[in-house]
Amino acid sequence: MHIYDTLIIGSGYSSLGYALKNENSIICEENQICDTHFYLPLKTFSYKEYTPKTEYAKKLLGIFNSLSVINGDMLNTNALECGICKFITETKVKILLKCRVIKAEKENGIFKATIQTNQGLSFIYAKKVLNTLSSDTDPFFTTLFITDNIEKDKAALLNEFKDGNICPAFYRNRYALQINAKGFDENTVKTFIYEKWKKLKLNAKILYMAPVFYYNNATDGLSDRNYQNPIEAFEAGYFYKEG
């Protein structure tokens, strides 16, 4: 029976950083890649400069640069997922996808976590459990769109989505609309945005309504939500010490 030092719930950048520093760790990610977002939860699509200190962080940044997913102060957030996966294949961090943690109970000083994967139920034993998820959130929802008349479309969208925010999204003519989705579930917020968009008859066409919920609330725990730079979030996890 293998006992991990740490079971990390959720696969953000900070989780990866922590797992690489603390080698006997395992990350459980509930989503399959097609529905998961390693790049969660960055506050905006723009990039705050950060100089990496560790070799792993430099390697991660190197991969991102080689894939050209950073352009000045812009991040190609959808493409980061490929870069992250490239990084994981090269660093061999232990991560289980489609892995839900049902419960984690302490027995004789060790956590026995019941997990559900495609295999069914099984157990992971760990001395410590770090939960990087929280239901205490103030979620935003992002819609990627393309337009060659941003001024006109922006005015119409912001008039409709009064608390929304529009920013450039890496490629020319590509933008992101962010709205506060508090109280909505993902299916409902997509429909809500769609109905509003349809009414406006815009030049702008939606590319992707990524279910990108990101969180407004800072936390002391292991989490990406405090950062606007994935490398910074990674190293925050790398250097993270509880308490």
Burial string for 112-137 (b: 16+ CB within 10 Å, else e) reads ebebeeeeeeeebebeebbebeeeeb
- 122 near another protein, judged by CB under 8 A: yes
- Residue 190, exposed/middle/buried by CB under 10 A (0-12, 13-18, 19+)? middle
Helix (H, G, I), strand (E, B) or coil at 9: strand
Beta pairing partners, 106: 111
Q: How many residues bind another protein (CB under 8 A)?
A: 54
Q: Note the Cα 40 to chain centre separation in Å.
A: 1
Binding mask 146-185 for another protein (x = CB under 8 A): x------------------------x--x----------x
Report the 10 Å Cβ neighbour count for 38. 23
* Whole-angstrom distance, CA of residue 90 vs CA of residue 63: 10
Q: For residue 34, state whether it binds another protein (rule: CB under 8 A).
A: yes
**The two structure tokens encoding residue 101:** 């943690």
Site string for another protein, 185-204 (x = CB under 8 A): xxxx-xx--x--xx--x---
* Least Å from the CB of residue 56 to another protein: 16
Interacting residue with another protein among 211, 214, 215, 222 (CB under 8 A): 211
Of 13-21, 28-36, 39-47, 231-239, the segment contacting another protein by CB under 8 A is 28-36
Q: How far is the CB of 126 from another protein (least distance, A)?
A: 16
Which residues sit at the interface with another protein, rule CB under 8 A?
Answer: 31-35, 67-69, 76, 78-79, 81-83, 85-86, 88-89, 95-100, 102, 116-123, 144, 146, 171, 174, 185-188, 190-191, 194, 197-198, 201, 205-211
